[in-house]
């Protein structure tokens, strides 16, 4: 048979690891093996020297493929490791079989090292052996084509990860690319199909190809370079898991199947970096001030272009389409364009996921460009840091720079709804959770982050409508979101079983700490932040109401507060004027971790319990709420989930969750409306004397106080002064009844927010009615049984007046101090 011999230079061999499978090489005929190779091992270690590799005579079966090596792999690649054997297992099992000892045959493939002295000398000096490929050929058709490095280059990327567009299963998907606009089953990547490759230009020329409608839309509206960037439209949960695990530091799968993610330096919102573009269409509607700081259109364009430029530098970007709002009449279409799989999965959970038919014709009302991994230019006009969260209501876009905290996207959509719903639809947007009882009674919980909206609305005896964002329309209440965003610090199956059981495959655990061996999450570990969170689809809650909409109007309105001073009662009944006062005030203690830099509870007032997210003036939302409460005869309550017995810094304890739930059970069952009530000093709140399942001494802060009577009076006086001072900025637009519904403090020296206030006269409480009629709770009329009617500004019959309170016989008049220095 004719013999063909051609030389292969090691410099032309592909730079891939050497994979010599078991049985590939037979032992050399030399009496002793060379250094570095076991005498009885079928796999020889090639160390790149003549002594370490003493010219074996490799023999392969006729069905085996030729294995080529290169100089780099020859420099010490250990082929005896389990990883190397695992990589070669498929070929060694079927193709590379060890041959039984037999005389040499002309039909075998022989790989021999040149025997010339010149080649030996070159081999010893340069350690670049030249191999001679020899094969007995029966015909010229069996000749293998020579390796052409110029025609078949091995493209390399600067990324340490393999390029999914060229390597692996994704390349097969690329070959079968379709014109599907929004495929949720295929991850359409950019096809690399170049021509005219040369040694000088191994990349070749990429011909113009057809683009999907989504790619064309992003290219036209945002200048996304679809030829450079792989656009992944609406990827599945599993696909996002894969990308997060490969490309994002801190990502792992926990023991329950949830994905952990790390948001970087920012582990909370950055409210001081929020901006609204000041433009003619919305300029007269926006509540300008410290909450909504203006941004010029010029600066907006700079930030937007900066974000787009960053997205164009990524290998891949994700597009997530969804709805904000379960009511089809009022929902808006939102598109998120981001660079992190963690962000895409987060918004996939938080938005309402469209079905396939809805995706086919999906064109967004608002688009979010999240380039949070890249900072803003802090020297740009109006910027105070490298973080920017900006919304443009005219262009219907949002741009995020300098923060990877996923909650910014969620709250950005919320701000959009705070603008769109009241202005365009006369619909009230609420920062609240909501659930529905078996009889159709709806309860709405207002509150800031950390006050218990998510926890308290997840009631096993009631259907969950939503945990954070809602709208109240003329038809009822609907949830804005498609998921829940629950705090995880201190989470346990005993305290919150619904939330605990929702942490599974598809959920995103944000900034939590887990055991690296067992992958069990330590929910008590606040090493990264106290604002640990979990985002999960709402259907993960067993008793969630799907679709998340109720055609019934709220029966109970509960204003949640977390008082770190320990002087507000756990539960109190509000009349109409008091409801408006406390809704506009929005008092709570800012909880640690909910915003960047907050590590201890701080007293704060957030109008409408949503001040960081409001787009319009608070009084506009307050008036809408007052009209709806009056129209639908809803009951209002002030529920304190904060500290009892003393302040957070003076030995107080957080009100146990079981007592808070017992109070809610009493509200829903109607039992709490049947008990006796007493007036609570300074704030003039109706406090129940008893509540089923709750110790009576906890219901009145004075009775539960353990830090001394003097300190109690000081804390009550200080907090009352804070309320009065804060409400001054709304007094011009508030009615007289609402102003008088606030706390009443004695006229005396200036009240300062310092521990020493002994110079002020003692404020005598009037919890005891001194022979007057007992104040009974009546959910709708606030009339006392057998006594005078309770009004926001009561008419006193011959007795002294207590403003914004019920009539108390024998008490002294308490008037608000016009000057407070807080």
Per-residue HEC secondary structure of 672-732 comes to HHCCEEEEECCCCEEEECCECCECHHHCCHHHHCCCCHHHHHHHHHHHHHHHHHHHHHHCC
Least confident of 74-83, 256-265, 703-712, 715-724: 74-83
Residue length of the chain: 822
Identify the pLDDT of residue 206.
74
Give the confidence band of 48 by pLDDT, cuts at 50, 70, 90. very low
Contact 615, 292 (CB under 8 A): yes
More confident residue, 563 or 591: 563
Closest CA to 365 of 406, 419, 318, 404: 419
- Say if residue 299's pLDDT is above 80: yes
Which pLDDT value is given to residue 595? 57
User: Average pLDDT of 67-82?
Assistant: 44
Q: Where are the domains of the chain?
A: 3-142, 425-483+541-713+731-740
User: Which helix (H) or strand (E) covers residue 126, if one does?
Assistant: helix 117-126
* Position with higher pLDDT, 588 vs 814: 588
Q: Where does residue 33 rank: exposed (0-12), middle (13-18), buried (19+ CB within 10 A)?
A: middle
Q: Can you give the pLDDT at residue 73?
A: 42
Give the model's pLDDT for residue 745. Answer: 80
* pLDDT for position 537: 97
SS in 3 state form for 553-564? CEEEEEEEECCC
What number of CA atoms fall less than 13 Å from residue 295's CA on the CB side? 28
pLDDT of 602 reads 77
Catalogue the long-range contacts made by 509-516 (C-beta closer than 8 Å, 24 or more residues apart).
Answer: 509/254, 509/258, 509/259, 509/260, 509/261, 509/533, 509/534, 510/260, 510/261, 510/262, 510/263, 510/346, 510/406, 510/534, 510/535, 511/261, 511/262, 511/263, 511/267, 512/260, 512/488, 514/252, 514/254, 514/260
User: Which residues does residue 687 pair with via DSSP β-bridges, in sequence order?
Assistant: 678
Mean pLDDT value of segment 51-61: 44
pLDDT of residue 458: 82
The answer to which of 198-202, 555-559, 641-645 has the lowest mean pLDDT is 198-202
Lowest mean pLDDT among 207-211, 402-406, 565-569, 620-624: 207-211
Least confident of 620-624, 715-719, 766-770: 766-770
User: What percent of the chain shows pLDDT beyond 70?
Assistant: 66
pLDDT of residue 481 exceeding 50, the answer is yes
Tokens representing 680? 């609570």
User: How many angstroms separate the CA atoms of 699 and 573, rounded?
Assistant: 12
Q: Which residue has the higher pLDDT, 4 or 595?
A: 595
Token pair 């272009």 is at which residue? 305
Q: What is the pLDDT of residues 628-637, one digit of tens each?
A: 999 999 999 9
Q: What are the pLDDT digits (tens) for 495-544?
A: 889 899 999 999 999 999 999 999 999 999 999 999 999 999 999 999 99
Give CA–CA dist 750/756, Å, rounded. Answer: 12
Per-residue pLDDT, 599? 57
pLDDT for res 182: 42
Per-residue pLDDT at 140 = 44
Q: How many angstroms from the chain centroid is the CA of residue 293?
A: 24
Asked if residue 101 has pLDDT above 70, the reply is no
More confident residue, 230 or 754: 230
154 or 203, greater pLDDT: 203
Q: What is the mean pLDDT of residues 362-366?
A: 97
Relative to beta strand 554-561, strand 635-640 is parallel
Q: Which range, of 351-360, 546-555, 769-778, averages the lowest pLDDT?
A: 769-778
Q: Which residue has the higher pLDDT, 346 or 168?
A: 346
Enter the DSSP assignment of 245.
Answer: H
Output 730 or 30, whichever has higher pLDDT. 730
The pLDDT assigned to 248 comes to 96
Higher-pLDDT residue of 16, 433: 433
Question: Residue 103: pLDDT band by 50, 70, 90 thresholds?
Answer: low
Catalytic residue IDs: 269, 411, 431, 449, 453-454, 468, 533
Q: Looking at residues 123-141, what average pLDDT do you find? A: 44
Amino acid 648: pLDDT: 87
Count of CB atoms situated within 10 Å of the CB of 27: 15
- In terms of pLDDT, which residue wins out, 759 or 534? 534
Q: Please, are residues 721 and 753 in contact by the beta-carbon 8 Å criterion?
A: yes
Average pLDDT, rounded, for the chain: 77
The pLDDT-based confidence of 8 (bands split at 50, 70, 90) is very low
pLDDT digits 0-9 by tens, 714-726: 999 999 999 999 9
Q: Of 43-47, 337-341, 528-532, give the lowest mean pLDDT range.
A: 43-47
What is the C-alpha to C-alpha distance for residues 61 and 382, in angstroms, rounded to an integer? 73
In angstroms, the first-to-last Cα distance of the chain is 104
Binned at pLDDT 50, 70 and 90, residue 596 comes out as: low
Q: Going by DSSP bridges, is the β-strand pair 293-295/274-277 parallel, antiparallel, or unpaired?
A: parallel
Give CA angle at 157 (193, 71), nearest 5°: 105
Between 168 and 538, name the one with better pLDDT: 538
Tell whether the model's pLDDT for residue 420 goes beyond 70: yes
Is the predicted pLDDT of residue 274 greater than 90, yes or no? yes
More confident residue, 536 or 118: 536
Positive or negative torsion for Cα 222, 225, 229, 230 = positive
> In the predicted model, is pLDDT for residue 760 greater than 50?
no
Residues 205-224, mean pLDDT to the nearest whole number: 88
Q: Which residue has the higher pLDDT, 449 or 357?
A: 357
131 pLDDT higher than 80: no
**Model pLDDT, residue 66:** 38
- In the prediction, which pLDDT does 495 show? 84
Does 4 score more than 80 pLDDT? Answer: no
Higher pLDDT: 822 or 19? It is 19
Confidence of residue 681 (pLDDT cuts 50, 70, 90): confident
pLDDT exceeds 90 at position 324: yes
Average pLDDT over residues 555-567: 94
The answer to whether residue 446 scores a pLDDT higher than 90 is yes
The more confident residue out of 529 and 133 is: 529
Give percent above pLDDT 90 in the chain. Answer: 56
pLDDT above 90: residue 146: no
Residue 598 pLDDT level (bands cut at 50, 70, 90): low
Which residues have a Cβ under 8 Å from the Cβ of 84 and sit 6 or more positions away?
17, 19, 77, 78
> CATH for 425-483+541-713+731-740?
3.90.228.20
Q: Do residues 587 and 388 lie in contact, with contact meaning Cβ atoms separated by under 8 Å? A: no
Is residue 93 over pLDDT 70?
A: no
Q: What is the pLDDT of residue 800?
A: 37
């Amino acid at each position: 048979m004719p013999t063909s011999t051609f030389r292969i230079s090691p410099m032309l061999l592909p730079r891939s690891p050497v994979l010599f499978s078991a049985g590939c090489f037979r032992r050399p005929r030399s009496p002793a093996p060379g250094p570095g190779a076991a005498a009885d091992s079928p796999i020889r270690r090639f160390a790149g020297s003549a002594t370490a590799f003493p010219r074996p005579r490799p023999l392969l079966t006729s069905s085996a493929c030729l294995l080529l090596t290169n100089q780099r792999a020859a420099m010490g690649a250990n082929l005896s490791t389990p990883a190397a054997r695992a990589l070669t297992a498929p070929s060694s099992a079927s193709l590379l079989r060890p041959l039984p000892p037999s005389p040499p045959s002309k039909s075998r493939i022989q790989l021999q090292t040149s025997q010339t002295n010149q080649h030996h000398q070159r081999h010893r000096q340069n350690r670049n052996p030249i191999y001679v490929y020899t094969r007995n050929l029966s015909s010229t058709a069996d000749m293998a084509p020579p390796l052409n490095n110029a025609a078949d280059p091995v493209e390399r990327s600067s990324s340490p990860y393999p390029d999914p567009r060229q390597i692996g299963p994704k390349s097969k998907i690329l070959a079968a690319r379709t014109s599907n606009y929004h495929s949720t089953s295929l991850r359409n990547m950019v096809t690399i199909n170049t021509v005219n490759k040369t040694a000088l230009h191994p990349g070749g020329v990429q011909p113009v190809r057809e683009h999907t409608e989504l790619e064309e839309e992003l290219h036209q509206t945002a200048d996304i370079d679809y030829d450079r960037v792989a656009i992944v439209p609406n990827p599945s949960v599993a696909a996002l898991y894969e990308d997060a695990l490969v490309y994002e530091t801190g990502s792992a799968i926990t023991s329950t199947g949830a994905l952990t993610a790390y948001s970087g330096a920012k582990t909370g919102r950055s409210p001081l970096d929020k901006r609204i573009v000041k433009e003619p269409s919305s300029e007269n509607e926006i509540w300008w001030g410290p909450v909504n700081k203006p941004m010029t259109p010029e600066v907006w364009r700079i930030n937007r272009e900066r974000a787009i430029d960053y997205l164009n530098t990524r290998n891949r970007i994700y597009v997530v389409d969804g709805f904000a709002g379960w009511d089809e009449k009022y929902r808006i279409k939102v598109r998120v364009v981001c660079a992190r799989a963690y962000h895409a999965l987060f918004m996939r959970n938080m938005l309402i996921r469209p079905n396939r038919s809805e995706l086919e014709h999906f064109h967004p009302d608002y688009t979010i460009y999240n380039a949070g991994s890249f900072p803003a230019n802090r020297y740009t006009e109006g910027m105070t840091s490298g973080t920017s969260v900006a919304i443009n209501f005219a262009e219907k876009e949002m741009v995020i720079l300098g923060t990877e905290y996923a909650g910014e996207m969620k709250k950005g959509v919320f701000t959009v709804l705070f603008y769109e719903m009241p202005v365009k639809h006369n619909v009230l947007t609420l920062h609240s959770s909501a659930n529905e009882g078996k009889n159709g009674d709806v309860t709405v919980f207002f509150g800031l982050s950390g006050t218990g909206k998510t926890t308290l609305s997840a009631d096993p005896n009631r259907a969950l409508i939503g945990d954070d964002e809602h709208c109240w329309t003329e038809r009822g209440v609907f949830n804005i979101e498609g998921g829940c965003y629950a705090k995880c610090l201190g989470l346990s199956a005993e305290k919150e079983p619904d939330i605990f059981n929702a942490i599974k495959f598809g959920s995103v655990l944000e900034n939590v700490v887990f055991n690296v061996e067992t992958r069990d999450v330590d929910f008590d570990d606040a090493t990264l932040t106290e604002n640990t969170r979990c985002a999960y689809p709402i259907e993960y809650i067993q008793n969630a109401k799907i679709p998340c909409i109720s055609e019934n109007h709220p029966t109970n309105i509960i204003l949640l507060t977390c008082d770190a001073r320990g002087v507000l009662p756990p539960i109190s009944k509000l009349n109409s004027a008091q409801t408006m006062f406390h809704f506009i005030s929005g008092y709570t203690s800012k909880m640690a971790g909910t915003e960047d830099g907050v590590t201890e509870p701080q007293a704060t007032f957030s109008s409408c319990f949503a001040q960081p997210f409001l787009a319009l003036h608070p009084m506009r939302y307050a008036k809408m709420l007052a009209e709806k409460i009056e129209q639908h005869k809803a009951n209002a309550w002030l529920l304190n989930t904060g500290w009892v017995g003393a302040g957070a810094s003076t030995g107080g304890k957080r009100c146990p969750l079981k007592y808070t739930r017992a109070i809610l059970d009493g509200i829903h069952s109607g039992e709490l409306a049947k008990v006796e009530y007493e007036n609570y000093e300074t704030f003039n709140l109706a406090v129940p004397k008893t509540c089923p399942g709750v110790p009576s001494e906890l219901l009145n802060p004075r009775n539960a106080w353990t830090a001394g009577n003097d300190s109690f009076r000081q804390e009550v006086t200080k907090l009352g002064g804070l309320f009065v001072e804060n409400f001054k900025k709304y007094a011009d637009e508030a009615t007289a009844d609402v102003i008088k519904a606030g706390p009443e403090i004695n006229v005396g020296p200036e009240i300062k927010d310092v521990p020493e206030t002994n110079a002020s006269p003692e404020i005598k409480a009037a919890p005891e009615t001194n022979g007057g009629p007992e104040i009974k709770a009546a959910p709708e009329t606030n009339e006392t049984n057998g006594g005078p009617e309770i009004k926001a500004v009561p008419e006193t019959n011959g007795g002294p007046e207590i403003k914004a309170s019920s009539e108390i016989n024998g008490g002294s008049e308490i008037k608000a101090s016009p000057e407070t220095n807080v």
